[in-house]
Amino acid sequence: MLTGRRVVLGVSGGVAAYKAAYLARRLTERGAEVRVVTTASARAFVGDQTFAAITGHRVVDRLFGVEGSVSPHTELGRWADVVVIAPATAATIARLAHGLSEDALTATVLASRAPLVVAPAMHTEMWEHPATRRNVRRLEEDGVRVVAPGEGPLAGGDVGVGRMAEPEEIVEVICEVLGEGPLQGVSVLVTAGGTREPIDPVRFLGNRSSGKMGHAIAEEALRRGARVVLVTAADLASSPGIERIQVETAAEMEQAVASVQPDVAILAAAVADFRPKAPAADKISRTSGPPSIELEATPDILAGVVGRTPRPLVVGFAAETGSLDRAVRKAQEKGVDLLVANDVTEPGAGFAVDTNRVTIIWPDGRSEPWPLMPKSAVAARLLDLVEGLLGARTETVSSPSDDPAHPGDGR
């Protein structure tokens, strides 16, 4: 499956461009997110509208003047898990081999660290020309995966070698190149959003959490191949590959969390600490004057997860105002493996924005402030840390029996 994997599909100008539309369809059917970038000559064969309709995203066809993007090639290049050029003409292959970047397609390739898959399509003479042979060899030496063209009808009624590989074959190569994500086989629970505790059927006690950070973490974990359960109180979309449990109150969130036994629990939700003890069954009327509402503590969901056997790897969050001293204490006292703290009063780090400035705090008191970043980048960096901690855990668990000096119990 390609669920949540990000594919940049570059289309250059050849009659096989019509097959690129079919390839885009196959990729989206497998769950991939696809963004298409075209060259000017590709557009002579297939209209951008076709790709936009299949992928649900506008095609990038130029380097400058793209609506809503100042630097489309670097944005696409960084976004991609894999870049695929299909069809790749002789001219595009020549440009790629020489690192030229004068159009949106080749510039995206150069601006990406993602693996590159190239599916050539051209007339036999062009494919067999020494210059093309040399350019293809150079790409292969650079680590590019070239999906060799087959034999069959070519443009203009010709027949020979140079026909682009079938979309199904290209999809298989993409799956192979992407491999299994680093979190394949790992189950990740993420909580997100702010809970709402009813006062009466109309009113609630709530908080300003938008759920954006938690949702970004869930999406990133999915992209890395994890099985993701997202328990969310937020009204945000999530990818179909995520198992989502929608909740409203702390009690519902506790129940949903209790139903999952994950390897990793990332508790990003802003859970209400207090709730009205006896929510009114009917709307409280203003005529009876301001009510006094008795509050009680909500369950500490994080404490419940930390207390489990086996205990998952636990990442807690702490939204503070001002100093992070309290967060350092929480990291020590709550039994978490990591605490992500932020000062919500800082510009760009608070609720409902797409950026965050967090400090990672370890239970031994070490801390690392991260710069202001998009929440998606915070999610990626956090999951890098989680992967490291998971690796260390596996080593600790397996080392006694792996080490001949400390044999296991022999079972």
Give catalytic residue positions. 207
* Among 112, 316, 356, 376, contact with ligand CTP (rule: CB under 6 A): 316
Find residue 231's DSSP bridge partners. Answer: 191, 245
Instruction: Tell me whether strands 359-361 and 355-356 are parallel, antiparallel or unpaired.
Output: unpaired
Nearer to ligand CTP, 55 or 232 (CB): 232
Does residue 269 belong to the site contacting ligand CTP (CB under 6 A)? yes
* Among 75, 200, 300, 387, contact with ligand CTP (rule: CB under 6 A): 300
Point out which span in 10-18, 57-65, 157-165, 295-303 binds ligand CTP (CB under 6 A).
295-303
Task: Return the closest-CA partner of residue 100 out of 14, 146, 35, 92.
Answer: 92
* Among 86, 302, 358, 360, contact with ligand CTP (rule: CB under 6 A): 302
Does residue 200 belong to the site contacting ligand CTP (CB under 6 A)? no
Least separation in angstroms between residue 195's CB and ligand CTP is 8
Least separation in angstroms between residue 394's CB and ligand CTP is 24
Pattern 221-250, ligand CTP, x by CB under 6 A = -----------------------------x
CA–CA distances in Å: residue 253 to residues 20, 205, 304, 344, 379? 44, 15, 12, 23, 21
Sign of the dihedral through C-alpha 178, 182, 188, 192: negative
Please report, in angstroms and rounded to a whole number, the separation of the first and last CA atoms in the chain: 35
Q: Which residue has the tokens 């109150």?
A: 249
Q: Report the site for ligand CTP in 11-70 (rule: CB under 6 A).
A: none
Least separation in angstroms between residue 345's CB and ligand CTP is 14
Q: What is the b/e burial string over 148-158, where b = at least 16 CB atoms within 10 angstroms of the residue's CB?
A: ebeeeebeeee
Q: With 0-12 CB in 10 A as exposed, 13-18 as middle and 19+ as buried, what is 15?
A: middle
Is the bond preceding residue 371 a cis peptide, omega within 30 degrees? Answer: no
Nearer to ligand CTP, 318 or 361 (CB): 318
* Among 50, 273, 373, 389, contact with ligand CTP (rule: CB under 6 A): 273
* Among 267, 324, 378, 390, contact with ligand CTP (rule: CB under 6 A): 267
Distance of CA 40 to the CA centre of its chain: 30
Alpha carbons 283 and 304: distance in angstroms, whole number:
33
- How many residues bind ligand CTP (CB under 6 A)? The answer is 15
At residue 353, the 3 state secondary structure works out as coil
Q: Report the site for ligand CTP in 321-360 (rule: CB under 6 A).
A: 330
CA–CA distances in Å: residue 178 to residues 81, 115, 144, 212, 388? 7, 8, 13, 27, 20
Does residue 298 belong to the site contacting ligand CTP (CB under 6 A)? yes
Residues that bind ligand CTP (CB under 6 A): 191, 250, 267, 269, 271, 273, 298, 300-302, 316-319, 330
